[in-house]
Amino acid sequence: MTIVVCVKQVPDTAEVKINPETGTLIREGVPGIINPFDMHALEAGLQIKDRVKGTVIVLTMGPPQAETALRDAVSMGADNGILLSDKAFAGSDTWATSFTLSKAIQKIGADIIICGKQAIDGDTAQVGPETAEFLNIPHISYVRKIEEITGTSIRVQRLMDDGYDVIESPFPVLLTVVKELNEPRLPSLKGKMTAKKAEIKKWGRADITADEDDIGLKGSPTQVKNIFTPEARSGRKILEGTPEEQVDALLQELRGIKCL
Amino acid sequence: MPVIVNPEKCKGCEECLSSCPFDAIVMKEGKALINEYCQACMACISMCPEGAIIEVEKEAPTDLEDIHSYKGVWIFAEQRGGKVAPVAYELLGVGRRLADDIETDLSAVLFGAHQTEAQELICWGADKVYHSSDPIFEHFHDEPYAQMLTSLIMEHRPEIVLTGATPIGRSFFPRVAARVRTGLTADCTSLVIDKETKNLLQIRPAFGGNIMATILCPNYRPQMATVRPRVMKRGRYDETNKGDIIHIKSEGLQSRTKVLQTVKDTSEFMINLQEADIIVSGGRGLGDPKGFKLIAELAELLGGAVGSSRAAVDSGWIPYRHQVGQTGKTVCPKVYVACGISGAVQHLVGMQSSDIIIAINKNPEAPIFNVATYGLVGDLYEIVPLLIKKIKQAKGLLS
């Protein structure tokens, strides 16, 4: 069984500070990490491999430095890494990103594709489902539990607003996962050694035979018009006094704005 | 690359580095270089004191269909268990405004549910409802939902199509956008028509709300977006509204996935965080899982939902579905009460757009106070019971 795990390298927000004047993120010198949701996707892939035997291939699209994300994944137990990197991919929105990933996945030939629910920088949650559509395969979003897996199908729980659904799908299928699914393992020492020497394949546009009109900025229907900082919150008020006085002051404030 | 650095002009001052929200500018051999992360937002151009960063004209796409032949605003009304989700009425509110601005009509699309629900959508402002009561839509399956909406879009060619940024909308809309080859903007918090071009300006938070981005889809139709629940005002309800209900044919729909069971949450706490007007959240400061009893008591008294920080979930005090923040849910209730939550960036990005934030924390230096409308400094086990008592008194529940 071939399991493809899609990961994205994102800035480590635990290391990100907010500029108090502008309210923007200070990202200089912030290390790149594997998107947290994708760590759960990778763990899911590794657990499936342990259960039913198979190969875990990690796939990412990004600039050359995204290679470190793939080596990190190999150190956790992934078998191979493939880096999609080409100037022609620059400026991709979710449509073009999904199209590019689907071309690469077609070339690999996967039974299960696993993605994190969303990336913590873009927060779109669109690349997984769009990729499934390009591959013309079913997908299941927000997987919180894998109940059963056989050689031909999988049964999972999909997290919804009011509970969860139990869903079954044949292979191939694409899953997007939430963090409740599992606890990602730590890399082993042996894994780290393997990762250092692992050969990371690099694929560009020619390797996945994608048309120029479908990738990068040209293939992206959406455009970022501008970026701005949201207005800072105002009216911050620290209430004073004993707990009772503070509670009274709070209730008075809330009554004043007709909130209670 | 639409934005490039002229290496002859670049002096290597590094002024541009911090202006880039995508980390797309790197220094190479003393010169700035724009890499593949560039989203062409142009933020760096004005930062360069040398005028070395320039925009390269983007090649206009060729062979585009005439985008002006697309007419009408559509909203997709999702249902679960036969009941239309409240976000649909908010979509009709914003949809009406957009339709009026571009002088077109507003339609709703409803899969599953009874026809009375379709009639309700007309009362909430839809001129037309495309409705299918095919049993395949009873449970949510991505494929038939996507296939049906795709063929409706192909046939009727609306210029704008919106749905709620809910688990359902965010799961199947991407498939539709991929299939019809158009743009989709996730989780928008503001939608405006550009007066000159009549394009839809789609405004959404990114990086957990630390920056806002305006997204356009100028050369493809329809312009598609998912809209964050509870942000848009509902339309006006008028039961005398007249509109057409169009029964759509749904032939040949298939789903390879199969819903075997739908399990409603049996948590003792109300948990639909994204629909809640009031959320009371607890964090590490609760000290132990029993603290959530107190949180739940306050939440119940206020008719609100129970949320939590990641620390409380990771400690096993409360299930993950209550988690607010970067790896949990993004919420924007009218009132958010944070009890014993210090306010790590990852939590703040999930709740800082709430109308009113009340923070209760022992530590006056806790970052949660930076975003709090009202801050109470003290022991939550002293303050919260007092709050409960006084609210009960005010409501006449206690003498």
Q: Read off the CATH number of the domain in which B351 is found.
A: 3.40.50.1220
CATH number of the CATH domain containing B37: 3.30.70.20
Asked if the model's pLDDT at residue B131 lies above 90, the reply is: yes
Give the residue-averaged pLDDT of B361-380. 94
Nearest to B140 by CA among B79, B213, B215, B84: B79
Q: How far is B19 from chain A (nearest CA, A)?
A: 9
B208 interaction partners in chain A (CB closer than 8 Å): 13, 120, 123
Q: How far is A185 from chain B (nearest CA, A)?
A: 15
Residues B241 and B285 in one domain: no
Measured CA distances, A100 to A33, A219, B57, B183 (Å): 22, 10, 23, 15
- Domain boundary among the residues B247, B262, B283 is at B247
Residues B243 and B284 in one domain: no
Residue A12 — pLDDT band, cuts 50, 70, 90? confident
Nearest to B170 by CA among A230, A161, A134: A161
Nearest to A199 by CA among A45, A77, A74, A52: A74
Residue B269 — pLDDT band, cuts 50, 70, 90? low
In a domain, B399, yes or no: no
- Number of compact structural domains in chain A: 1
pLDDT at residue B62 in the model: 47
- Number of compact structural domains in chain B: 3
Residues B12 and B75 in one domain: no
Give the residue-averaged pLDDT of B118-138. 96
Q: Which runs of E-coded beta strand occur in B180-229?
A: 184-188, 190-193, 200-206, 211-216, 223-227
Residue B61 — pLDDT band, cuts 50, 70, 90? low
Of A38-52, B261-275, B297-311, which range is least confident?
B261-275
**pTM, 2 dp:** 0.87
Residues B75 and B223 in one domain: yes
In a domain, A178, yes or no: yes
| Cβ–Cβ contact A95 with B under 8 A | yes
Give the residue-averaged pLDDT of B284-301. 94
Written as one letter, the residue type at A206 is A
Of A122-126, A198-202, B121-125, B241-245, which range is least confident?
A122-126
Please, how many CA atoms are within 13 Å of residue B275, restricted to the half-sphere of its CB?
A: 15
Asked if the model's pLDDT at residue B345 lies above 90, the reply is: no
Interface residue of A117, A135, A136, A160 to substitute, partner B, most B CBs within 10 Å: A160
Asked if the model's pLDDT at residue A15 lies above 70, the reply is: no
Q: What are phi and psi of B332, to 5 degrees?
A: -145, 70
Residues B227 and B359 in one domain: no
Assess contact for A60 and A200: CB atoms under 8 A. Answer: no
| CA of residue B282 relative to chain centroid, distance | 23
Taking CA–CA distances from B58, the nearest residue in chain A reads A218
CB-closest option in B146, B261, B345 to A133: B146
Nearest to B329 by CA among A178, A134, A18, A252: A178
Asked if the model's pLDDT at residue A1 lies above 80, the reply is: yes
Nearest to B286 by CA among B321, B331, B337, B327: B337
In a domain, B252, yes or no: no
A27 interaction partners in chain B (CB closer than 8 Å): 18, 23
Residues A138, B18: C-beta atoms closer than 8 Å: no
Of A43-52, A195-204, B44-53, B285-294, which range is least confident?
B44-53
Q: How far apart are CA B45 and CA B23, in angstroms?
A: 14
Q: Which of residues 24-53 of A touch B (CB under 8 A)?
A: 24-28, 30, 36-37
**Orientation of helix B291-302 relative to helix B380-394, angle to 10°:** 30
Query: The domain containing residue A170 runs over which residues?
Result: 2-214
Tokens of residue B321, six digits = 């579905």
B352 interaction partners in chain A (CB closer than 8 Å): 233
Measured CA distances, B319 to A159, B263, B305 (Å): 12, 15, 14
Residues B215, A222: C-beta atoms closer than 8 Å: yes
Give the residue-averaged pLDDT of B18-34. 83
Residues B83 and B218 in one domain: yes
Residues A250, B376: C-beta atoms closer than 8 Å: yes
Asked if the model's pLDDT at residue B267 lies above 80, the reply is: no
Residues B185 and B137 in one domain: yes
Residues B42, A23: C-beta atoms closer than 8 Å: no
In a domain, A207, yes or no: yes
Write out the H or E segment, with its range, that includes residue A163: strand A163-170
Taking CA–CA distances from A8, the nearest residue in chain B reads B37
- pLDDT for B63-100, tens place per residue? 556 888 999 999 999 999 999 999 999 999 999 999 99
| Cβ–Cβ contact B2 with A under 8 A | yes
Give the residue-averaged pLDDT of B291-302. 94
DSSP, res B329: B
Write out the H or E segment, with its range, that includes residue A237: strand A237-239
| Cβ–Cβ contact B212 with A under 8 A | yes
pLDDT at residue B378 in the model: 95
Instruction: Find out whether the peptide bond into A129 is cis, omega within 30 degrees of 0.
Output: no
Query: The domain containing residue B47 runs over which residues?
Result: 3-55
In a domain, B368, yes or no: yes
In a domain, B295, yes or no: yes
Give the residue-averaged pLDDT of A241-257. 91
pLDDT at residue B40 in the model: 75
In a domain, B60, yes or no: no
Give the residue-averaged pLDDT of B211-217. 90
pLDDT at residue B321 in the model: 87
pLDDT at residue B252 in the model: 87
Q: What angle do CA B25, B30, B34 make, to 5 degrees?
A: 20
Q: How far apart are CA B123 and CA B108, in angstroms?
A: 12
Asked if the model's pLDDT at residue A51 lies above 70, the reply is: yes
Provide the H-helix boundaries in A53-124. 67-76, 94-108
| Cβ–Cβ contact B58 with A under 8 A | yes
In a domain, B260, yes or no: no
Q: How far is B244 from chain A (nearest CA, A)?
A: 31
CATH number of the CATH domain containing A60: 3.40.50.620
In a domain, A120, yes or no: yes
| Cβ–Cβ contact A196 with B under 8 A | no
Residues B76 and B223 in one domain: yes
Residues B284 and B161 in one domain: no
Assess contact for B92 and B124: CB atoms under 8 A. Answer: yes
Of A39-43, B52-56, B279-283, which range is least confident?
B52-56
Taking CA–CA distances from B45, the nearest residue in chain A reads A226
Give the residue-averaged pLDDT of A225-233. 77
Residues B282 and B342 in one domain: yes
Residues B236 and B97 in one domain: yes
pLDDT: which is higher, B340 or B206: B340
| Cβ–Cβ contact A67 with B under 8 A | no
Asked if the model's pLDDT at residue A200 lies above 50, the reply is: yes
Asked if the model's pLDDT at residue B282 lies above 80, the reply is: yes
CB-closest option in A36, A165, A236 to B372: A236
Asked if the model's pLDDT at residue B370 lies above 70, the reply is: yes
Nearest to A86 by CA among A109, A103, A108, A106: A103
Asked if the model's pLDDT at residue A32 lies above 60, the reply is: yes
Q: Where is mean pLDDT largest: A168-172, B5-9, B193-197, B391-395?
A: A168-172
A-B CB pairs within 8 A amount to 300
B372 interaction partners in chain A (CB closer than 8 Å): 236, 238
Please, how many CA atoms are within 13 Å of residue B332, restricted to the half-sphere of its CB?
A: 17
Number of H-type helices and E-type strands within chain B: 9, 22
Residues B16 and B81 in one domain: no
Asked if the model's pLDDT at residue A7 lies above 80, the reply is: yes
In a domain, A229, yes or no: no
Percent of chain B with pLDDT over 70: 95
* C-beta atoms surrounding A146 within 10 Å: 18
pLDDT at residue B173 in the model: 98
Across chain B, mean pLDDT equals: 90
B213 interaction partners in chain A (CB closer than 8 Å): 224-227
Q: Which of residues 265-324 of B touch A (CB under 8 A)?
A: 265, 272, 274-275, 319-321
